[in-house]
Structures are given as structure tokens and as C-alpha cells.
Structure 1
């Protein structure tokens, strides 16, 4: 009787990783509280005590995703020498990350809440802002390419960034539909074959 009010002990980090994986598979709306607690190995009171609520748990899962799987995108846009190499690396690194586990999982930022509902409005807006932030990172990398001479000065940076962001987001949908890594890499091949046409002729 003395231990009845004692909270259940569990590994919070491990539970959060499991929640992130479920949100990647099911999305915010479809992942029920029962599924989450089962996947995390905890009971509802423990979830509320540790994370507050489902929405707060999802936000922590997004932060974890950005710090783990999502870090590949940021690194790819920073490290390669040219803008073309950076965008190629961004797409390929994400294909590898999406298909690193079986069943393969797409991008939480893209698939977490693809439709706005009355219940997920705040979550949808936050994910939309994160997608826009990613597109801005691509624009900034293209602008850097112009400054460094590997992207023609007349390139339509906004249009090119929107194109490659759309390809990146589309890869997640292909993963959700079961596309194998080889097919996804072929999509990247096609996208990068369009580079000169997109940025204009020149040193690119």
C-alpha cells in the first residue's frame, strides 16, 4: 500500500524515441494515446507526468527528430563545396535516413500533420513553419553559391529552392508508399539532372 502512489519508473529518453518513431509512422492525428503509451512502455498517468500532454509530447518528438534524423539536412547544406553538391547531398542523405529502418519511415516534419484540422491547428502551423525554414536554408545555400561563383548570378533562387524542397518533401511520401531506396535515389538522379536548366547556364 505504501508504494501505491509512486510513479512508474521508465527511461524518458527511450520512451521519447519510441514516441518519435510512432509519430513518424502514424502522424500526429492517427497516433492514439493508447498506441503511444503501448509503444513507449508506460501508462497514461506517466505520460502526462513526464510530457504534459500528447501535443507537448509531439513537440518534444519533433525536437528530437531535428536533432537526430534532421541533422543530416543541415549538415549537407553546410559542408559540401558547391551549392549543387550540397543539394545533392541533402537529398541523398535524407533518402538514406528515411530508409535506414524497416519499415522505412519518412520525414516527421512533412508527414506529422499533412492536413490542418480543428484539433491539430497549432501542430500544423509549427510544422509548416519548419518546412518554410528548410526552404529558406536551401535559398541561403543557393545565394552563397552565387556569392562564391558556382551558381549563376541570374538564377531564380526562390524557384529553385521551392523545387528542391518539393522534391525533398515528395521523397517522404514515396517512402510512406513503400518505395525502395533504389527508386528514391533514381528520383534524386532526375532532380539533379535538371540542375543546369533550373539555375541557368554558366559555371554551375
Structure 2
């Protein structure tokens, strides 16, 4: 019997990640995956199990190696800095590679059959977790006075994710980084600022006109 081919699991995951990123979960065939990794199906099954298990591992690696700017953004001091970091780093990542533009998480769930429903639900759950983390960060900004009291943090978080996901789809369709940066500029131009102070500045004393008696005389 022939000896089973050995391969580097980390490199194999990276290769699979690129295939899923480029073609989505449904579009990536076993032939695509085995050719990219350089192994036959038995070795692929032995190392990773089925296609769904391999995708889940690749997705975790994607978040760890490519989406690491998200936790960094959430620790920035102001909501404006948080939002701008998220948007601009997303644009950079979505347009970084010519052969796999867009977002792996979005690309993986745009279309699928009933067989891929568990993956679609897993991606929805991952996005929901991200939205919750962003909403909580914005609520903290609101409590600190960095956002106005009228700010609806749930709506703001949903709005930002809609922009992020929309830009990922546009990047996949070929929109340039320059165009997407203009979208970010538009979002930042309308981002709500800190709450205004409720303490009014003291009114300045009236200025006397030339020639008028500006001071009391003493006897």
C-alpha cells in the first residue's frame, strides 16, 4: 500500500481559506480544495473531516489572521476612532488581494443550497456576535458623553454593518479602494459627535460706545 502523503496542516488551512475566500463555501468544490492543498480526498478527510468542518476551521483562521483589527478598533478611545478604524481597515482588506476581493464571511453566505444551511447559519451567528460587540462599544461611548444622549446605538451598529457588508460586496464586484474610501469619508462626515455641554458660557459684558460714560465717577 502507498504511504499517505504528509502535509503541513497550517499551510493546508491557508490554502483552503484562499479557496473559500475566492469562491465561497458553495462554490468551492472538493477538487478545488484538494488541488489547492495538494492532497487527495482521503488525506483531506483524515486531517479535517468533511468540507463543512474544513470551512469552519478556515473561517476561524480568517478571523484570527485577517480580522484582528476588529478587537483593536473596539479598544480605541472614541466612537469616531472605532468606526473609522473598522471602515478603513475593512476597505484595505477587501481590496488587498486581486484574486480574492471582498470578505470571506460575506462571500461564503451569499448563496447556497439546503446542504450548506448550517454554514449560512454559522456565518449569521458570527455577524450577530460582531454587531453585539459593536453596539456595546457604542453604548459605552454614549455613557461617557462621546455620543449624544439621543443616539440609538443599536441602529448605529446595524447601519455600520450594512455599510461594511455592502462595501465587501462592492469590492467583490470590482469597486476600487479609492471609491470605497470615499464611502468611508461620507460615513465619517455624518457621524454624531459628543454631546454638547448643557452649561452655557457666561455672557460677555456689554461694551460701552465711544464717548459714553463707561465708569462711575466718585466724589
Partner of 2:185: 189
Structure 2 contact 145–195 (Cα < 8 Å) conserved: no
Structure 1 contact 73–94 (Cα < 8 Å) conserved: no
Structure 1 contact 83–151 (Cα < 8 Å) conserved: yes
Q: What is the SS of the residue equivalent to 1:152? A: coil
Partner of 2:55: 58
CA distance in 1, matches of 2:133, 2:107: 20
Q: Cα 1:123–1:104, aligned 2, differ >3 Å: closer, same or farther?
A: closer
Partner of 1:138: 134
Structure with higher helix content: 1
Q: 2:94 aligns with which of 93, 98, 106?
A: 98
Structure 1 contact 107–172 (Cα < 8 Å) conserved: yes
Q: What is the SS of the residue equivalent to 1:92? A: helix
Where do residues 167-178 of structure 1 align in structure 2 (5 Å cutoff)?
A: 167-178=163-174
Partner of 1:16: 13
Return the offset for 1:104: 4.6
Q: Cα 1:104–1:53, aligned 2, differ >3 Å: closer, same or farther?
A: closer
Query: Cα deviation per residue 1:34-69 (whole Å; 9 max; x = unaligned)?
Result: 011111111111110100010000000011011011
Return the offset for 1:16: 0.5
With 10-19 and 68-77 compared, the bigger mean Cα shift is at: 68-77
Structure 2 contact 101–172 (Cα < 8 Å) conserved: yes
TM-score w.r.t. the length of structure 1 is 0.91
Partner of 2:201: none
Pairwise CA RMSD: 1.5
Structure 2 unmatched ranges of 5 or more: 197-219
Larger Rg over CA atoms: 2
Return the offset for 1:74: 2.1
Matched, 1:158 2:154: yes
TM-score w.r.t. the length of structure 2 is 0.85
Partner of 2:85: 89
Structure 2 contact 30–51 (Cα < 8 Å) conserved: yes
With 163-172 and 68-77 compared, the bigger mean Cα shift is at: 68-77
CA distance in 1, matches of 2:70, 2:164: 10
Return the offset for 1:103: 2.8
Structure 1 unmatched ranges of 5 or more: none
Structure 1 segments (4+ residues) deviating >3 Å: none
